[in-house]
Amino acid sequence: MDAYLHEWGGMLLRWLHVLAGMAWIGSSFYFMHIDAMLKPAPDLPAGKGGQMWEVHGGGFYQVRKWLVAPAELPPELLWHKWEAYTTWLSGFALLAWVYYGASELFLIDPAVADIGPVTAAAIGIGSLLLGWVAYDRLCRSPLGRDEARLAAVGFVVVVLVAFLFQQVFSGRGAMIHTGALMATWMAGNVAMVIIPNQRKIIAALRRGEAPDPALGKAGKVRSTHNNYLTLPVLFLMLANHYPMLWSTPWAFVIVGLILVAGAVIRVFYNLRHSGRGNPWWCWAVAALCILLAALVSLTSSPIGREGLGLAAAEAPGAAPPPAEVVEIVLGRCSMCHAAEPVWAGIPVAPRGVRLDTPEQIARQAGAIRVQAVLSRAMPPNNVTGIEPRERRVLAAWLAGR
Ligand code: HEC
């Protein structure tokens, strides 16, 4: 029953998280697009705002932007903040639910670092907090005024952190925490800079004072950071479902390549929308980065190496596995990989892989090689204590097939 409830909790949190994220990214891309397309209006000279027309849902819309603010404050204002807050809150809850709630399955890999669930969660949460403070300080430092240098330092920091996470967490735990770190910067930008600055501007207007233009400018800089972080963050959030991306010691290199690819795709759209041409080179750079990431994964992840034939090829016409192999798999794997698993927290055979009869075991020979011989992905974090000798028995069987 616990396992069933855990699944439902994960499903509902993920549902909320994806929905909120769509609303947040949708509105933030929308405003970046508007900003890029604004034309000067007669009463709003360049630098003081602008306007544009849109057509949608059977009507025409005129959008106007005032910089820093209109002379008179409108009676009603729509704020855009709960999309961001809901995304971060539901995302953090999902991270805690899956990775801290079932850390032995997903977060802790004793072959990497033999830490307890509390230590693992503390490292995760602590690094999110510390990461925000470091990023915010960096933005406010003299370096923060030089966008190109800030981007370069930010890139090095993220890749380094991804590498460090790989030294304490499981592969997928490291991947999700790198994504969560950048996602925390994005939500922090909204909660700690953009919205507070907007409040200060409104308070100044209410007092009849001219608001400080630096407040609006700082907000715009942070929302531009968010724009460049969006694509890499989404990639890393999804990547934890793909072992080809995290089951390699070079996962942090993949992170670096995706950071570049995601950012240049946004450069393309930001320039295109502002009428500064179509910088097609952006797509060439993005394609090259993704190709290199695929190459890293192909040559260093167990699944890729199997595909390349770097692992011994599987012989057709499989004979039934020897009794010793069946005994090992029944003893170390079938508590989860059975029609009715007996392992707490595993309601059905994971990924539909059943290993409870000699025939099933023979059919899954290739998958067993990838998961339990070429890599130590299975049993997850070796929860059932398979011994090196037993892995050698599996390897000998597979090599002879
Ligand atoms: C504690 C439960 C448990 C045990 C024991 C276990 N597995 Fe798994 N297995 C899982 C889970 C959970 C997944 C799904 C992982 C995911 O979704 O990323 C999985 C996935 C797999 C897959 C599919 C991988 C894929 O991505 O397609 C294979 C193959 C596999 N296990 C083989 C084994 C073998 C071989 C053993 C024994 C040496 C074993 N498992 C022991 C829980 C277990």
Domain residue ranges in the chain: 75-303, 323-399
Which one of 241, 329, 371 would you pick to mutate in the ligand 1 pocket, going by the greatest count of ligand atoms within 8 A of its CB? 371
Q: What separation, in Å, do the N-terminal and C-terminal C-alpha atoms of the chain show? A: 41
Per-residue model confidence (pLDDT) at position 12: 97
23: left (phi over 0), alpha (psi -120 to 50) or beta: alpha
Per-residue model confidence (pLDDT) at position 1: 64
Token couple for 52: 């544009």
Cα(253)–Cα(293) distance, integer angstroms: 8
Cα(52)–Cα(41) distance, integer angstroms: 9
Cα(210)–Cα(300) distance, integer angstroms: 58
Please say whether the beta carbons of 14 and 94 come within 8 A. Answer: yes
Determine which residue's CA is closest to atom 15 belonging to ligand 1. Answer: 350
The answer for residues whose C-beta is within 8 angstroms of residue 89's C-beta and 6 or more apart is none
Cα(71)–Cα(75) distance, integer angstroms: 13
| Residue 246: exposure state from Cβ atoms within 10 A (0-12, 13-18, ≥19) | buried
User: CA nearest 79: which of 120, 27, 136?
Assistant: 27
Determine which residue's CA is closest to atom 6 belonging to ligand 1. Answer: 379
Per-residue model confidence (pLDDT) at position 320: 80
Q: Is the CB of 376 under 6 A from ligand 1?
A: no
Residue corresponding to tokens 């994960």: 10
Ligand 1 center–CA 213 separation, angstroms: 56
For the chain, list residues with pLDDT below 50.
312-317
Cα(178)–Cα(163) distance, integer angstroms: 9
Give the dihedral of Cα atoms 362, 367, 370, 373; nearest 10 deg.
-30
pTM of this prediction? Answer: 0.73
Ligand 1 center–CA 378 separation, angstroms: 5
Give the amino acid at 274: S
Ligand 1 center–CA 349 separation, angstroms: 8
- Strands (E) across 2-160 are located at 49-56, 59-66
If DSSP codes are grouped into helix, strand and coil, which group holds residue 59?
Answer: strand
Q: Is the CB of 346 under 6 A from ligand 1?
A: yes
Residue 388, H or E segment: helix 388-399
